[in-house]
Each structure stands twice: as structure tokens, then as C-alpha cells.
Structure 1
Amino acid sequence: MPQLELAVESAEGVRLAAAVGAVRVELCAALAETDGITPSIAAVEQACRVGLPVHVLVRPRPGSFTYNAEELEVLEGDVVAALGAGAAGVVVGMLADDGGPDVAALLRVAEAARSHSPAAEVTFHRAFDAALAAGVDPAEALIRLERAGVNRVLTSGGSPDCTAGLPMLARLVELGRDHAPQLQIMAGGGVRLELMSALVRSGVHAVHTSARNHNHSTGTRTSAADPLLAAGMAAALAAGG
């Protein structure tokens, strides 16, 4: 069955993830405002003390996923700092001028991470969906990620959310088997409880969610995870959807 990963912003979120049986968390800051940026090192240290594997989002700013040399230097430094603070892995996403994953930048970051922590895992975030939307061949994109030493990719199948992206998610799983067998496909983006059965059937290796309810009055998601929703999602995955 797919693993469950929760996107959280604090140690409290890590404790919730542990309570519902998530296998790890992605720790970020300003999730509602920016879709996530790099959290502070103090927040990383505090989250890591809970005991669940913490994968830290390293995204120095909101906006595009192409970075200049100075930004890449900051990104690399934040990766090493996060691992030094106790993180089990990092979550990054850099795109090259052709719109596809930037292998050179990813290799640089992965090598820096594993020089510090040999077991560190690297996840490529939803910059992957921007690559697919730009017309990059999905098989080529997956090949690039595996070549760069990435462990998993977070994606909604190139669509705004996983509901629309279900067909591509299933295709990515198939393409991964043929072209990037070491790379895990993790579904994320607009994940809802009623979508769990379809995500299980798609064959994805993991499901990523913030477990935040939709606020119909504002048209946005609530700022904090709903413990009942998170537990329901975990139970649905454990039951095979």
C-alpha cells in the first residue's frame, strides 16, 4: 500500500503525523501563503526531536524553479544545514532552461547532502508538474531525476490537482518501472479522502497531503491540519483505499 507523508510546519504537526501513522513529514514554512518555503533551522531542530523522519523543504523563495548561482549556493547551504539539524532528507526542485529537471544542480545538491549524511534522501517537489506543463517528455523527466540521485518525485501528474492528474499519475508509475525503477512516484496536490481508492489503484508509492480542510467561505484551505481528516486518510490507505 502507498505510504503516507504529511506536509507540516511545526513539531506539533510532526506529532500529529506520528499519531496517525504517517511514515515521514515534509517540514516547510508559509505553506498557505507561498505553497511552502524553507523553514528555520530552529524549527527543523524542534521537529526532528519528535522522532519521525523529517524531510525539509529547501526552497529559498516562492516563484519560479530556476535559480541563479547565488540562489543555488544558498539552497545547497540550507540542505547541509537541515541535515545537520537532524533531518532525514530534503525536498528540492530545480528546473533547467529547457523546462526539465536540472540534472547538474540536482547532482550538486545530492552530492552535498550525501557527503554530510550518506543515507539522506532527496525528493523532487512539484516543480516536476511545471516541467510536465511546459511539455517536457515525462519519461525523460523521470530519467533525469534518477540520474541525478533523486529518491522520489512529488507530483499531481502535471495537473492542478491529483483528481485531474490521475491518468498521468498512473502513466508515470508505468514509465517509472521502465525508465527509472529506483524512483518513487508520490502523489500530492489537492488530495482528498474520497480520492484515496483511486490513488491506490494508480500504483503510486506514496501519498502526500497537508490534511487541511477546504474553507468554502474564503475559497482556501484552513491553516492547520485536521486530525480527523489525517487519521481518515491514513486508515483509507492502510485499508487499500
Structure 2
Amino acid sequence: MSTSIFTEVAVENFTAIPAAIAAGANRIELNDNLTVGGTTASRGVMSEASRYASEHHVPITAMIRPRGGDFVYNDTEIKIMEADLFSAQELGIDGIAIGALTPDHKLDTEALEQLLAAAGGMSLTFHMAFDEIAAADQAAAIDWLAEHDFDRILTHGGPLNEPIEAHFDQLKQSIQSAAGRLLILPGGGITADNAAALADALSVKELHGTKLINF
């Protein structure tokens, strides 16, 4: 794979982090429960991951998600996410991946603003909840996220049960809508074998996945 591609490798808990970093991961997305798309790792895991990655000069993005399932959260769940965000910040985590939607699949701007107020300058990723927003509403969502200092949007471009190649048109539209204000980070079904071709096809420099590098 081309060394010009910046790789964000999603891992579950601490165990895989040393091997991923040794194999050349440029950034780690730290999760628990990847089988449900990732949830928040424990405080102990975040602490050890932050220590190890910092020693090796690799940034960590922590998934802040209280459960699997949908991305519509009640007030208690938002408070849980806020507390986890504060823990991540306290433990030296570099960035967070968050997402919250309304029942009609639009950005839950009230919940997001509450979480952003607690983020304190951390790097911000809006995770694959983005793919549940209707295509017609995604450009407006990108505008809002850019205006609220998100650094990147993690997206497959469509349903995860379909190959990412099927969603190139939507991904290109998102990249055009972002217009350099934030980064569109393709993910889902990207491996060390197809990463270079995908990066070339989409003209992107960063990719996300669990199998982006071999370790």
C-alpha cells in the first residue's frame, strides 16, 4: 500500500494496539464491541492505550458511544457520553468519535452541542451515524459539522452491507460538499489489498478500517 495513505486503524480494546502501531498505523480509533460497530472502551483501557500510543507518537481517537443499536440517545445516555468524554480528555486521548441523530435521521444538534461543550479542543470525528442521514440531507449536515469545528466525517457512503465501491458517487458528493472544510474519511470494507485503489479512485489521503494494515 502506498505510504502516502494516512491509515486510521480501528481496534478493540488495548490488545491489538502495540501490533497495529508496530505495523505502521498512523492513528488508532479505540473501541469496545466492534461487532456492534464500536462502543466506548473502559477508563482503564483508555488510560493504557493513551499512555502507549503517546510514547510511540501515534494519536488516539476514542469512540464515545454508550451502546450498540441506533444513534438516537435519551438524556441519560447523553450524560453518560459526556462523562466518558471528560474521562477521555483527562486521560490524554487526542480525539473523540461521536454521533447523535433525531428519530427522523437528522443531526441531533442539541445533543451534539452539549457534547461539544465538553470536548475542550479535542479532535472531532462524526462517526458512521452519518450514513443513516438521508442523502438529500447530508450536505446540510456537512455544513453544520464544519461550522462546529468537526475535523472529519467517517462514512461508508451507504449501507455497510454493500461494498464501498457501490457508494463512490455518494462519497464523491460528500467530498465535494465538504469543500476542504473538513475531511471525508472513507471506511468500511477497506483492506490493505484495496486501499490504494480506493484512495486513488476517491482522491483521498486518509482511510479507516480494521484491516487497513496487516498485523
Q: TM-score range by the shorter chain?
A: 0.7 to 0.9
RMSD, aligned α-carbons: 1.8
Worse-matched range after superposition: 200-209 or 40-49? 200-209
Aligned to 2:86: 80
Aligned to 2:6: 3
User: How far apart are 1:205 and its partner, in Å?
Assistant: 4.2
Aligned to 1:28: 31
| Whole-angstrom distance in 2 between the partners of 1:148 and 1:104 | 12
User: How far apart are 1:141 and its partner, in Å?
Assistant: 1.6
| Whole-angstrom distance in 1 between the partners of 2:69 and 2:130 | 14
Aligned to 1:214: none
Q: TM-score, normalised by structure 2?
A: 0.87
Please tell me the residue identity of whatever aligns with 1:206: E
SS at match of 2:61: strand
User: How far apart are 1:90 and its partner, in Å?
Assistant: 0.7
SS at match of 1:137: helix
Q: TM-score, normalised by structure 1?
A: 0.79
Greater relative contact order structure (CA < 8 Å, 6+ sep): 2
Paired residues of 1:44 and 1:82 also in contact (CA < 8 A): yes
- Structure 2's unaligned 5+ residue stretches are none
SS at match of 1:157: coil
Aligned to 2:117: 111
Paired residues of 1:104 and 1:148 also in contact (CA < 8 A): no
1:1-241 alignment, distance < 5 Å: 1-32=4-35, 34-50=36-52, 51=54, 52-114=58-120, 118=121, 120-132=122-134, 135-160=135-160, 161-177=163-179, 181-196=180-195, 197-211=197-211, 230-231=213-214
For residues 32-68 of structure 1, what are the alpha-carbon distances to aligned partners after superposition, in whole Å with 9 as ceiling and x for unaligned?
2x22111100000111111221111011011110111
User: How far apart are 1:136 and its partner, in Å?
Assistant: 4.2
For residues 195-234 of structure 1, what are the alpha-carbon distances to aligned partners after superposition, in whole Å with 9 as ceiling and x for unaligned?
32123330234211101xxxxxxxxxxxxxxxxx6149xx
- Structure 1's unaligned 5+ residue stretches are 212-228, 233-241
Identity %: 31
The count of corresponding residues between Structure 1 and Structure 2 is 205
For residues 168-189 of structure 1, what are the alpha-carbon distances to aligned partners after superposition, in whole Å with 9 as ceiling and x for unaligned?
1122111111xxx321110011
